[in-house]
Structure 1
Amino acid sequence: MAKDDIVPPRAPTLGIALTPVILTLLLLGLQLFYFDDFTPHIPLAIGLAITGVVGLYLGHSWPSMENGVFRVINVSLPSVSVLIVVGMIIGVWIASGTVPTLIYYGLIILSPQIFLAAAMIMCAVVSLSLGTSWGTIGTIGLALMGIGAGFDVPMYWTAGAVVSGAFFGDKISPLSDTTNLAPAVTATNLFDHIRNMMPTTVPAMLIALAIYVWAGYNMVDGGGASFESINAITSTLNDNFMISPWLLVPALLVIALAVMKKPPIPSLFAGVIVGGLMAIIAQGATLHDVFGFANSGYSIETGVAEIDSLLNRGGVQSMMWTISLILIALGFGGALERTGCLQTIIEAILSKVHSFAGVQTSAIGTSMATNLVAGDPYLSIALPGRMYSPVYRGMGYSTLNLSRAVEEGGTLMSPLIPWNAGGAFVISALGLGIAGGNLENLLYIPLAFACWMAPVIGILYAWTGMFSPRASEAELQDWRDNDRQVTDLSQYGYDDPLDGVRAGPVPAE
């Protein structure tokens, strides 16, 4: 019998709960800014160890904490699986000529002035269809990075536009796991949740679109691009690959399967298989070559630096740095949740806010902070969603406000935190080179305008009362009939959303 079953562990005080969080953030800052080394694995691992010591002090058994760590990791394994398949896609689609063809036609069809705006729109459409920001970034996003290089657009600008579009689609796609998780933890309807996100999502996207159009016409070189560079890239691609519209079939197949609402992992893997066949038929690769591309990535020396730096990538092994970071970050987040540290911090916040505007702002901020500390977009949605639901009920506000808040603080902030699962993937898949110390590319974070503008707009709505729906009669009746929300979270690996959380109403202001 576990120790926890004999003597219940103590709840941490706020000071104890903050200890592992603050120490870990200090270690991350030391590694990133003092040592100028972006390898956050060890600081996060030490943070996990510190949290374990805190848990033992509070009376938790090691098996209990271990279970909490592995539960959170287990919840995110489907996304890790997507990452592995995307690694295969990157290597195989480069070898098949799919990515080179996308770059080639993009350089011919698009103009530098509209490139950033077009990149955001393309990624938004594909992500909405696929229901996965990661799949979009690892496929279309990678090709757009090559097109941007041909137009002499700084890669952090291109990455910002790609991230803005990809996570916009992920946020409102009914096929997205996070879009389904947010209403699940707050007991709201999926499509009502998507509709309620439009008042923040649409303005954020329009503002971002306007900025990207402005930037396209006002780059340092006056909006022009080096035609010599474009010609060098297109001619080199022609010399080294067969370029044909037929080579876009793998990408079109994946999008078609997504539109048909097929599961994302089999759909993406179908793209790997078809891409492999294209590499054999069109580019003369052998089956053994394809296996190598899928595992270790593609390698080529063309003599053109822009092409070599872009196309020498991909494969499952290229994702191991990212996967190891994600697993450690998730373990840290799971330990913080199991020891009660995150719950104590959230309850301290809730004790200080007494208005709807304050609660809505706190819910968004808590999701952001959980993303920052725990490194897990799922936990940043599930934990605040569970903790804040009774507060909204007590105030008589619809929990649609909460589901929007945790999406904006959870889904949209994930790619903007380098050691978060989302941020680590963006950096790896787009080849931003942060791990090599090129911290300039972190500028993609403020340039991903749609991601951080949506929560800002959401906070403005909360303080003005706009687009902040009160509970409907149907919701009120449901709350009268059930003193606990009935939500099946087993598919996400979570318990009942109000387990361990006060279920009684909080008095309205």
Structure 2
Amino acid sequence: MTDTTDSRQQLPPLGLALLPIVLTLGLLGIQLFYYGDFTPHIPLILGLAITGLLGVMRGQRWMDIREGVFHVIHVSMPSLSVLIVVGMIIGVWVASGTVPTLIYYGLTLLNPQIFLAAAMILCAVVSLSLGTSWGTVGTIGVALMGIGAGFGIPAYWTAGAIVSGAFFGDKVSPLSDTTNLAPAVTGVNIFDHIRNMLPTTVPAMLIALSVYLVAGFSLITPAETSFARIDAITDTLSAQFSLGLVPLIPALVVVVLAIAKRPPLPSLFTGVLLGGIIAIFWQGAGLHDVFSYAQSGYTIETGVADIDSLLNAGGIQSMMWTISLMLIALGFGGALERTGCLEAIINAIISRVTSFSAVQSSAIATAFATNVVAGDPYISIALPGRMYAPLYRGMGYSTLNLSRAVEEGGTLMSPLIPWNAGGAFVITALSLDIMDGNLTNLLYIPLAFACWTAPLIGILYALTGWFSPRATDDERQEWDRQDEDILDLDGHALFDSENAENA
């Protein structure tokens, strides 16, 4: 184990710790708003370099900093693996007719006015079953984007409903990695943690559901529904693909495997294999065609622009932009952690809070800010979860409050930050074309109501004292037996790697 004792005993002053973060955010702002170019890779690389230079100037060895960078990347490799498999799923499931069948029946059976609300509920159920928001967005979410386009609903509204539902399910599913990580870091039982999240999650979902219902009836009226457009899409789909129950087998098998509590990564890959088999024997594709769809995505020219824009998607290569961004953002977060910058900033915050309401609000805000800066939902949960725990214990409050806070600022806010792992994946998987400077589709961020209203409700509870449990005698005894392997600030074992496959 690399000795980093000196770097931890001598944290950088607050101003110096903030310097690489401020400079990086400034570079991101110039790239995004001045040049109108949504490619945050280079600003984040420069931020990593600035952070590394800061550490070296303060006497740290570059090899120690590099270890911190690669450790965080290593911890997140299961999530990167999910990205690769989801890219394959999208391409193969289009070729197998799975996505076209879902779009066809969705356009045929769903009422356009309740579509947004139905999309949110469907994604919530699937995500709760799979334990993965990313898997839900990359499978059911892709089909729902096609249905929404057929109804003439703006892509950002559909994306907002998908994200709300998918990340709700991720937050309360016992199969989810973040739902396992938060209670592990804070030392509480996972099912107690899930129950304690319901007071914020349920109202947030009800608020989102109400907004989507109102929006659906406002955006679409029966007189304005373009049935000619819907007919054109459904007729083209039925002409180009053999639809029916057989193409739905891959999706059904994946859901069954999830209900049986099989690991998500093998379950999703099973969906890829089944999709490939059906593409060959049901749709008439060749083996090499399936390989190409999995690698480079599905391509089709039907002469109907709506169909072509919906179905020309997927493949491993479609995820490379996101994967490269994640690698860089994770490296930046690892450098900030190893140089002590994040710890110095959190310590400065902790030293200034004296009441429970301030501690709870600060924990939510810190998890969100870590998401913004480090680009990684794992760090945003693990680091504040470890560092805030003594404050809750000293005040006699259950760390269930803390586990809920870091989930709200970590899991739920991740997809709303475009350069974060969650946000980058959503933008890529749902084909929210913003790379050319057209940032309209980023409106999905404020429209993902369930994600940002839950933290606000959590802050309200902190101010009022509602749903803020005190520590029980059993919990006080458990504090004495905390597993120190869950989060090691030396940069080792951020969390149990066995849970990482639930990404």
Tell me the TM-score normalized by structure 1.
0.94
Matched, 1:345 2:345: yes
8 and 170 in structure 1: CA distance in 2 versus 1, 3 angstrom threshold: closer
| Deviation for aligned residue 1:344 | 0.5
Matched, 1:212 2:207: no
Question: Residues of 1 paired with 2:314 and 2:302: CA distance?
Answer: 17
| Deviation for aligned residue 1:305 | 1.2
Consecutive unaligned residues in structure 2, runs of 5 or more: 496-503
- What do residues 22-68 of structure 1 show as CA deviations (whole Å, max 9, x unaligned)? 00000111111110010000000000000001111121101100000
Question: Residues of 2 paired with 1:193 and 1:470: CA distance?
Answer: 14
Alignment root-mean-square deviation, CA: 1.9
18 and 37 in structure 1: CA distance in 2 versus 1, 3 angstrom threshold: same
Question: Residues of 2 paired with 1:213 and 1:322: CA distance?
Answer: 32
Which residue of 2 is the match for residue 14 of structure 1? 14
26 and 223 in structure 1: CA distance in 2 versus 1, 3 angstrom threshold: farther
- What do residues 417-449 of structure 1 show as CA deviations (whole Å, max 9, x unaligned)? 000000000000000001122200000000000
Contact kept? 2:294, 2:314, Cα under 8 Å = yes
Which residue of 2 is the match for residue 178 of structure 1? 178
Matched, 1:282 2:282: yes
Q: Give secondary structure in 1 for the equivalent of 2:139.
A: helix
Question: Residues of 2 paired with 1:478 and 1:87: CA distance?
Answer: 42
- What do residues 264-306 of structure 1 show as CA deviations (whole Å, max 9, x unaligned)? 1100000000000010011100111111110110000111111
Question: Residues of 2 paired with 1:169 and 1:397: CA distance?
Answer: 27
Alignment of 1:360-509 (within 5 A): 360-479=360-479, 482=480, 485-489=482-486, 495=492
Q: Give secondary structure in 1 for the equivalent of 2:282.
A: helix
Question: Match of 2:423, as an amino acid?
Answer: G
| Deviation for aligned residue 1:490 | 7.5
491 and 296 in structure 1: CA distance in 2 versus 1, 3 angstrom threshold: farther
Question: Residues of 1 paired with 2:8 and 2:381: CA distance?
Answer: 27
Question: Residues of 2 paired with 1:188 and 1:469: CA distance?
Answer: 13
Alignment of 1:218-297 (within 5 A): 218-219=218-219, 224-297=224-297
Which residue of 1 is the match for residue 113 of structure 2? 113
Question: Residues of 2 paired with 1:464 and 1:415: CA distance?
Answer: 28
| Deviation for aligned residue 1:222 | 7.2
Contact kept? 1:171, 1:411, Cα under 8 Å = yes
494 and 252 in structure 1: CA distance in 2 versus 1, 3 angstrom threshold: farther
- What do residues 69-120 of structure 1 show as CA deviations (whole Å, max 9, x unaligned)? 0111111110110010000000000000000000000000101110000000
Contact kept? 2:488, 2:494, Cα under 8 Å = no
Which residue of 2 is the match for residue 71 of structure 1? 71
| Deviation for aligned residue 1:4 | 5.2
Question: Residues of 2 paired with 1:497 and 1:251: CA distance?
Answer: 33
Alignment of 1:40-189 (within 5 A): 40-189=40-189
Question: Match of 1:397, as an amino acid?
Answer: Y
232 and 394 in structure 1: CA distance in 2 versus 1, 3 angstrom threshold: same
| Deviation for aligned residue 1:219 | 0.7
Per mean C-alpha deviation after superposition, the further-off stretch among 151-160 and 429-438 is 429-438
Question: Residues of 2 paired with 1:4 and 1:414: CA distance?
Answer: 29
Tell me the TM-score normalized by structure 2.
0.95
| Deviation for aligned residue 1:476 | 2.1
Contact kept? 2:126, 2:255, Cα under 8 Å = yes
Question: Residues of 2 paired with 1:497 and 1:38: CA distance?
Answer: 30
- What do residues 445-491 of structure 1 show as CA deviations (whole Å, max 9, x unaligned)? 00000000100000000100000000011112334xx2x62254289
Contact kept? 1:113, 1:224, Cα under 8 Å = no
| Deviation for aligned residue 1:246 | 1.6
Question: Match of 2:67, as an amino acid?
Answer: N
Question: Residues of 1 paired with 2:311 and 2:490: CA distance?
Answer: 38
Contact kept? 2:113, 2:221, Cα under 8 Å = no
| Deviation for aligned residue 1:221 | 5.8
Per mean C-alpha deviation after superposition, the further-off stretch among 395-404 and 8-17 is 8-17
Q: How many pairs are equivalent?
A: 495
Question: Residues of 2 paired with 1:452 and 1:349: CA distance?
Answer: 22
Q: Give secondary structure in 2 for the equivalent of 1:435.
A: coil
Contact kept? 1:375, 1:419, Cα under 8 Å = yes
Q: Give secondary structure in 2 for the equivalent of 1:329.
A: helix
Which residue of 1 is the match for residue 35 of structure 2? 35
- What do residues 354-375 of structure 1 show as CA deviations (whole Å, max 9, x unaligned)? 0000000000000000000000
Question: Residues of 2 paired with 1:289 and 1:250: CA distance?
Answer: 18
Identity percentage of aligned residues: 70
Contact kept? 1:293, 1:315, Cα under 8 Å = yes
Contact kept? 1:10, 1:59, Cα under 8 Å = no
Contact kept? 1:156, 1:444, Cα under 8 Å = yes
Question: Residues of 2 paired with 1:459 and 1:199: CA distance?
Answer: 12
Contact kept? 1:8, 1:59, Cα under 8 Å = no
Question: Residues of 2 paired with 1:255 and 1:5: CA distance?
Answer: 47
Consecutive unaligned residues in structure 1, runs of 5 or more: 499-509
Q: Give secondary structure in 1 for the equivalent of 2:162.
A: helix
- What do residues 134-162 of structure 1 show as CA deviations (whole Å, max 9, x unaligned)? 00000000000000000000000000000
Question: Residues of 2 paired with 1:282 and 1:334: CA distance?
Answer: 47
Q: Give secondary structure in 2 for the equivalent of 1:283.
A: coil
202 and 23 in structure 1: CA distance in 2 versus 1, 3 angstrom threshold: same
| Deviation for aligned residue 1:2 | 7.2
Question: Residues of 2 paired with 1:452 and 1:424: CA distance?
Answer: 17
Question: Match of 2:20, as an amino acid?
Answer: P
| Deviation for aligned residue 1:224 | 3.9
Contact kept? 1:185, 1:487, Cα under 8 Å = no
295 and 13 in structure 1: CA distance in 2 versus 1, 3 angstrom threshold: same
Question: Residues of 2 paired with 1:113 and 1:468: CA distance?
Answer: 38
